[in-house]
Structure 1
Amino acid sequence: MFTKNYKTTDESFWNGRIDSLDDFYAYRWHQWIERIDLTDEKLTPYEDKLGIGFIGFCSDEGIKINNGRVGAFDGPKAIRKKMANLPCCFSKDVKLFDAGDIINRNCTLQESQDLLAISVEKILDSNLFPILLGGGHEIAFGHYNGVLNYLKKHTKKPNIGIINFDAHFDLRPYDKESSSGTMFRQISDICIQENIDFSYFCIGIQKHSNTLSLFKTANELNTKYILAEHMEKKEEIDLLNKLRNFISQQEYIYITICSDVLAAAYAPGVSAPQPLGITPQILLKYLKYILKSKKVISFDIAEISPKLDIDNMTSNLAASIIYSLVDTLCKMK
């Protein structure tokens, strides 16, 4: 199963402009990335300042099941293409690793999510900070399980807070089958099984994109959230205080971004574009605030759909968000 639906990244994905062959401070990411194979038993933990481990989740099966517009299967490739030319904003003791892709073909969605969980656990075992490239937002279920399985080896009762930048709660029932709209309902049930807290905070929720039933479910599960409309109108200090209170109760934070949280003017290449979404500047302000807690253990960005994009705007924005993430992590080390 692992070898069938896991592939290392093609070397041709990482190429681009070269300003210098010997001056590291003129390097771009494609000159500094190292491909790794998660099936390699000789993999050893990274021991320098900071190691970043990228892995793609090539799937939009969850979007299809959720009756959304497909196309996110090719998201990881598009994001890599835009990341390739990013400048190295760090010193040589920071290293980038590409761990390849999980491919959702000729297997069930559950199987690909299980495989993703194994991969995330391996990346964390290698002392790397995981950055996952979507793919549909169903990436979140496998990602969370990978973090949980890793932490269970180090603590009896992991305390993981989920912060989701999203226009949707993704708390739909999954009686028949799971999708890109059910992940956090599934995670809440796993938390019950594991006897751990379900700690979930959504940023950018849209009233017109969630039924009253979903708001009811969110309240029943003690979900914290910030409406997108309040991010433009309310006093920022009140919203950040609400977020700070949530963060203070967590030992670890897992951040996931569904790109439909962003206004369609900035992120047109998603399954469900949001005309009233938040701006990238607001997202980055909140993202950096969370990162500065030093509790973030893992990150993903989902729902990048190249075939629905305009002039690669959405994949370029995803790469820019990842750049800011890496830059902030490096400055805190």
Structure 2
Amino acid sequence: MSEFRHMMPAGKALFKDRHTTKANDLLQSYTSGMENEFGMAGVPLSKPSISHSGASFAPSAIREALKSFTTYSGEEGMDLTERIIDFGDIYMSPTDIIGNQERIVEGLTDVFATKAAKNWLVLGGDHSISYSSIKAFAGGKKVGVIQFDAHHDLRNTEDGGPTNGTPFRRLLEDNIIKGEHLSQIGIRDFTNAAAYDRYASEQGVTVYTMADVDRLTITKILDEEIQRLAEITDVIYLSVDMDVLDQAFAPGCPAIGPGGMDSKTLLKGILFASHYEKIQAMDIVEIDPSIDFRNMTSRLAAYVILQFMKGKKNR
């Protein structure tokens, strides 16, 4: 207690409602032997981004955005009480892009090996981090991947190296996943090249465009794809590129564009998918807090985390 009247430590002089728990209060730093339902790690990498990106700032921004929400779901009449074991962020060199991607594999391999959590949350970073994260998560298992994205991210590596446009190409070429184990949802018109459309088809990747999402609905697509992947893989990983959303809902994405999902569709999809036991990991990528508007995109990412947690608790 301060010796001065009304004075509190810097950053602590905040209004506190005794009946309200903020979602960021669920974060708990990892200590050896700890186990819980959810684990989290940040991967602050955006150097390999094709376009200008400050996505390296996103892990901190998303954690901060959890303060915007409470732990209580009025729709379900329940509180989220499970702690999120937070392993912190992986160190990124300012110049060594290839080394950084290798460090992500090594760092996340160590994190996943603790078996401290049943379900994992990985905060990017640009989409290049998904190659390393999925490689670490696989660990000899057959991994199915459901990718929410406007882009295929199947670009060749000859033209620019391992950028945020290449993670799924690299996963396929390195035999970490098979084409039939990858499902892409929300692929947008006038956003990809014909060569990568053909490559997806040749590799047996399942692709749903935004027109398909509008026609079939997100829950019908996910139900079909999760059941299909559950039969041929051991675990399923969700990769959520926030630019799957229309620019009106995600102004903080480096590659904004019209014609994408609205936020309710994405949140409905995450909630639906998280009910399935085989879905055990999710990354959230491609948010640049430096260009966001009132933290809209980071707040939406935080809400995605809460939907994932709600679905896991309520399955």
TM-score, structure 2 as length reference = 0.85
Residue 144 of structure 1 aligns with an amino acid whose one-letter code is I
* CA spacing shift, 1:32–1:245, aligned 2, 3 Å: closer
Q: Distance in 2 between matches of 1:44 and 1:143?
A: 22
Residue 54 of structure 1 aligns with an amino acid whose one-letter code is M
Mind listing any 5+ residue stretches in structure 2 that lack a counterpart? 1-9, 73-77
Q: Distance in 2 between matches of 1:122 and 1:36?
A: 13
Q: What's 1:59 paired with?
A: 45
Instruction: Indicate whether 1:114 and 2:114 are aligned.
Output: no
Q: What's 2:24 paired with?
A: 30
Does the Cα contact within 8 Å between 1:14 and 1:84 map onto a contact in 2? no
Residue 104 of structure 1 aligns with an amino acid whose one-letter code is M
Q: Distance in 2 between matches of 1:268 and 1:331?
A: 31
Q: What's 2:249 paired with?
A: 266
Count how many residue pairs are aligned between Structure 1 and Structure 2. 296
Give, in angstroms, the shift of residue 14 of structure 1: 11
Instruction: Indicate whether 1:88 and 2:71 are aligned.
Output: yes
Does the Cα contact within 8 Å between 1:140 and 1:256 map onto a contact in 2? yes
Residue 252 of structure 1 aligns with an amino acid whose one-letter code is V
For the residue of structure 2 that corresponds to 1:145, the secondary structure is: helix
Q: Distance in 1 between matches of 2:210 and 2:188?
A: 6
Residue-by-residue CA offset, 1:210-256 (whole Å, 9 max, x unaligned): 11100000011100011012212346676345424533333210101
Alignment of 1:224-235 (within 5 A): 224-234=206-216
Give, in angstroms, the shift of residue 85 of structure 1: 4.2
Does the Cα contact within 8 Å between 1:271 and 1:305 map onto a contact in 2? yes
Q: What's 1:5 paired with?
A: none
Does the Cα contact within 8 Å between 1:259 and 1:303 map onto a contact in 2? yes
Q: Distance in 2 between matches of 1:17 and 1:131?
A: 29
Does the Cα contact within 8 Å between 1:261 and 1:274 map onto a contact in 2? no
Q: What's 2:116 paired with?
A: 127
Please point out which of 133, 140, 143 is paired with 2:130.
Answer: 140
Q: Distance in 2 between matches of 1:87 and 1:235?
A: 29
Instruction: Indicate whether 1:189 and 2:170 are aligned.
Output: no
Q: Could you say what the CA RMSD is over the residues aligned between the two structures, in angstroms? A: 2.5
TM-score, structure 1 as length reference = 0.81
For the residue of structure 2 that corresponds to 1:62, the secondary structure is: coil
Q: Distance in 1 between matches of 2:71 and 2:219?
A: 33
Alignment of 1:3-22 (within 5 A): 18-20=16-18
Q: Distance in 1 between matches of 2:126 and 2:60?
A: 13
Q: Distance in 1 between matches of 2:80 and 2:295?
A: 30
Residue-by-residue CA offset, 1:16-66 (whole Å, 9 max, x unaligned): 75322xx6xx322333422126xxxxx1251xxx43222111111121xx2
Residue 159 of structure 1 aligns with an amino acid whose one-letter code is K
Give, in angstroms, the shift of residue 121 of structure 1: 2.6
Alignment of 1:1-333 (within 5 A): 18-20=16-18, 26-36=20-30, 43-46=32-35, 50-63=36-49, 66=50, 68-89=51-72, 94-124=82-112, 125-128=114-117, 129-149=119-139, 152=140, 158-175=141-158, 177-191=161-175, 197-198=178-179, 199-234=181-216, 239-240=221-222, 242-249=224-231, 250-332=233-315
Q: Greater shift after overlay, 115-124 or 213-222? A: 115-124
Does the Cα contact within 8 Å between 2:71 and 2:81 map onto a contact in 1? no
For the residue of structure 1 that corresponds to 2:69, the secondary structure is: coil
Does the Cα contact within 8 Å between 1:16 and 1:84 map onto a contact in 2? no
Mind listing any 5+ residue stretches in structure 1 that lack a counterpart? 1-11, 38-42, 153-157
Give, in angstroms, the shift of residue 290 of structure 1: 2.2
Residue 290 of structure 1 aligns with an amino acid whose one-letter code is A
Does the Cα contact within 8 Å between 1:61 and 1:104 map onto a contact in 2? no
For the residue of structure 1 that corresponds to 2:40, the secondary structure is: strand
Q: Distance in 2 between matches of 1:229 and 1:17?
A: 46
For the residue of structure 1 that corresponds to 2:240, the secondary structure is: strand
* CA spacing shift, 1:267–1:237, aligned 2, 3 Å: closer
For the residue of structure 1 that corresponds to 2:39, the secondary structure is: strand
Does the Cα contact within 8 Å between 1:56 and 1:133 map onto a contact in 2? yes
Residue 257 of structure 1 aligns with an amino acid whose one-letter code is V
Give, in angstroms, the shift of residue 307 of structure 1: 1.3
Give, in angstroms, the shift of residue 274 of structure 1: 1.9
